[in-house]
Homo-oligomer: A and B are copies of this chain.
Amino acid sequence: MPEDLRNRLDRQPTVAGLSEAELLDRIFPRLRMAAGHTSSTLLGSGDDAAVVAAPDGRTVISIDTQVQDQDFRLLWPNGYRTTGFDVGWKAAAQNLSDINAMGAYATSMVVSLTLPVDTPVSWVEDLADGLTAGIRGLGATHCSVAGGDLGRGREISVTVAVLGTLDGGRPVLRSGARPGDILALAGTAGHAAAGLALLESDIAVDTLTPAERAFVDLQCRPRPPLHAGPAARAAGATGMLDISDGLLRDGKRLAAASNVAVALDPAALAQLAVLLAPASARLGEDAAGWVLGGGEDHGLLATFPGSVRLPPGFTAIGSIHALGTDDGPGVLIAGRAADNGGWDHFAH
């Protein structure tokens, strides 16, 4: 935790003052708010495990971790302080997006929190509120938090495992794209990357225009298009994945899994870049780089047979082609292989 924040919070109650049971008592009432009338949780917290409905005899599952100073900073260069609410919302959004990308609906989450002893109790309460608000705000009406785990560590770490249901349908895989398919995007591309650039800039957060602030908000509290995944499945999508590491990197994953070439339409990319003008002009950065390399919007990239009418929320941004005899799978822009982009956890 930065010295500054530590000093400011010095007189706030921290998790060191509470037992695990007392801290859970602060958190669980806030998480229960996420449970709607249609909750799939059959048995919630209080036992060694929870029990969740899996109506079609299968459950979809994914897991994702956010770590302090890797996935978020508590204090950004532009002065923005990441709230517990932000971290909770983002944990919900990232995980719900993975379920969406299979064409499924989320049914339940379990959450494991690792907290330094000097973490303010109010920060943890905010995190629970953010998780709940993310689940409800993004429209995951069947989903609730079924249980969790609390522990101590040197840095804040939030892991969510999320369950989902395909309602009897087939999952939409990365490997299903076929030559002749249309490539379509649901959600935004590059907005979270623009927000990240603003957070890392020296433009004070309280001087941002509303348009700029919207990019920062999307970086901190992503808004994946949750109903687009099941809608794409119902419409006959052949392949799908969520854009977590950038259009270029995730496009290459789709290409590799399906053994095809993914051609991005330069005109469509330019239209996406135009939306980023309020931030790219201010920072003197290339909006196209954000569109191609920015992942944390958690948009959906899906392929559809040419005969299919795209479901609401999807825009055509390219097409799928068979590989030439000398070509490997990859992403093409205006007929040329696109350079690498996106983000890797370990590579330097």
Please state if B20 and A63 are interface contacts (CB–CB under 8 Å).
no
User: Among residues 58 to 114 in chain A, which have CB atoms less than 8 Å away from a CB atom of chain B?
Assistant: 58-65, 67, 69-71, 97-99, 101-102, 104, 108, 110-112, 114
User: Among residues 172 to 189 in chain A, which have CB atoms less than 8 Å away from a CB atom of chain B?
Assistant: 173-175
Indicate whether A48 sits within 8 Å of B98 (C-beta atoms), given known contacts A112-B159, A154-B154, A163-B59: yes
Please state if A151 and B70 are interface contacts (CB–CB under 8 Å).
yes
A33 at the binding interface (Cβ < 8 Å): no
User: Among residues 128 to 158 in chain A, which have CB atoms less than 8 Å away from a CB atom of chain B?
Assistant: 146-155, 157
Query: Smallest Cβ distance from A293 to chain B, in angstroms?
Result: 16
For the complex of A and B, the 4 pairs showing the least CB-CB separation, nearest first, are A161-B161, A54-B54, A49-B62, A48-B101
User: Among residues 234 to 256 in chain A, which have CB atoms less than 8 Å away from a CB atom of chain B?
Assistant: 241-242
Chain A contact-residue range equals 35 or more
Please state if B49 and A99 are interface contacts (CB–CB under 8 Å).
yes
Query: Smallest Cβ distance from A6 to chain B, in angstroms?
Result: 16
Q: Which residues of chain B come closer than 8 Å to A71, judged between CB atoms?
A: 151
Query: Smallest Cβ distance from A234 to chain B, in angstroms?
Result: 17
- A69 contacts which of B70, B148, B154 (Cβ < 8 Å)? B154
A164 at the binding interface (Cβ < 8 Å): yes
Please state if B15 and A346 are interface contacts (CB–CB under 8 Å).
yes
Please state if A104 and B49 are interface contacts (CB–CB under 8 Å).
yes
With CB as the reference atom, state the residue of chain B lying closest to A53. Answer: B58
Alpha-carbon gap, A153 to B21, bound state (A):
27
A281 at the binding interface (Cβ < 8 Å): no
Alpha-carbon gap, A344 to B49, bound state (A):
19
Alpha-carbon gap, A67 to B150, bound state (A):
11
- A151 contacts which of B43, B47, B67, B98 (Cβ < 8 Å)? B67
* Further contacts, 15 of them, CB under 8 A, given A47-B102, A48-B62: A49-B62, A49-B98, A50-B60, A51-B59, A52-B61, A59-B163, A61-B163, A62-B147, A63-B112, A63-B149, A63-B159, A63-B161, A64-B112, A67-B152, A155-B155
